[in-house]
Amino acid sequence: MEVPRIRVSEIDDICVLICHLIYSLGCPLSKNELIEITSLEDTVNYFNLMSALEKASGHLLDVIDIDGEIVYSNTAMGIKAAKDLGSSIKPSVRDKMFKEAVRVYTRDAMKRNNSFLAVRYIQNSDGSCTIGVRIMDEESAKQDYYLEIAAKDAENADLIKSKIKQDPKAFKAYLDNYFK
């Protein structure tokens, strides 16, 4: 028996999901990133996503054109919606979409910054944090590792993030030695 997929189909719920993702990541997301993130397991229909982006633009979301790419960030009202209504999104959807957002954002951030490492984290509703770490091979530009690390709170997540970013080559060497 196939497990039914959870879908978000109401435009208002999709608006809240978008605001929550942007707020949780702490950075803007492009239209293409939002399409890729929300299309995971067909959670959000493309046309409903476009309707939600149109509805939220200018009110919940600021729309910026950066070098021909549309990027969305939360307005003050979007931040309030993320904080007040983000918990109304089913936790399984929220967690799945955030994990996908971290994966997509870190991949794209690394391309933009010509970097081999990217680290982002989100604070979960219980105060714990999920940290996403993507490490690429510097020569082949293929992904070597994608790790999710759990931290008990934001303070520990910041500490882990700063230690990894302090010496990313040593962290990668540690992983290489550990797994090989």
Domain ranges of the chain: 1-112, 115-180
Q: What is the pLDDT, as a whole number, of residue 148? A: 87
Q: What is the pLDDT, as a whole number, of residue 114? A: 65
Residues 6+ away with beta carbon under 8 Å from 54: none
Query: Which residue did the predictor score with more confidence, 144 or 11?
Result: 11
pLDDT at 12 over 90: yes
**Which whole number is the average pLDDT over 161-165?**
90
At residue 159, φ and ψ (nearest 5 deg) are -65, -45
Q: With b meaning 16 or more CB within 10 Å and e meaning fewer, what string describes 24-33?
A: bbeebbbeeb
pLDDT tens profile 67-108: 788 999 999 999 999 989 988 888 888 888 888 888 888 777
pLDDT at 168 over 50: yes
CATH architecture entry for 1-112 = Orthogonal Bundle (1.10)
Query: Which residue did the predictor score with more confidence, 140 or 53?
Result: 53
**Which whole number is the average pLDDT over 23-47?**
90
Query: Which residue did the predictor score with more confidence, 154 or 74?
Result: 74
pLDDT, mean over the chain: 86
Q: What is the pLDDT, as a whole number, of residue 113? A: 65
